[in-house]
Amino acid sequence: MELRSEFLYRAHIDVEGFYEVGETFRGTRTIVRVKGGWFEGPKVKGEILPGTGDWFIMRPGGVAEGDVRDAYRTHDGHVVYVSYRAILNVPSEIWEGLGRGEDVDPAKYYLRGQPMFETAISTPYSWLNNTIAVSIGKQEAMGVTYDVHQIL
């Protein structure tokens, strides 16, 4: 068996700010507020709505886990709920560069996610409800860019 995929879209998420929860029994918790953004691909495009976020935890050992919940609005007005788990594994010297807002080559760290989609069955995008996808990302100073691929 061969794993095949198809490019679904590129998404850029702008971050508005952070709520620092602090050290919890799971690790260091930060809530990331999404300002907005965009997504665009061959079959779907539109905007990422503000007010959504990433419930981010820095686990012991320096690996971050994201619990992301976004609302996308397609170019023709349909809303798609996108939720995913993400893993960000960055060597400590790279974290420092990202913290200073430097443009760091994403090949030097690991940012992957597993988006799941939920939209009304009456929309032309209802096929997303039955789609398994994976993403690869690039961390930026106040945002992140993901390429999302549908697993065929």
**83-131 residue pLDDT tens:** 999 999 988 888 777 777 778 888 989 999 999 999 999 999 999 999 9
Q: How far apart are CA 27 and CA 91, in angstroms?
A: 18
The pTM (predicted TM-score) of the whole model is: 0.92
The CATH T-level fold of domain 5-151 is Porin (2.40.160)
**pLDDT of amino acid 86:** 97
pLDDT-derived band of residue 43, with 50, 70 and 90 as boundaries? very high
Q: How far apart are CA 51 and CA 35, in angstroms?
A: 7
* CB-based burial label for 30 (10 Å; 0-12, 13-18, 19+): middle
Q: What radius of gyration do the chain's Cα atoms show? A: 16
Which residues make beta-bridge pairs with 36? 14
- Domain ranges in the chain? 5-151
Instruction: Confirm if 14 and 23 have CB atoms less than 8 A apart.
Output: no
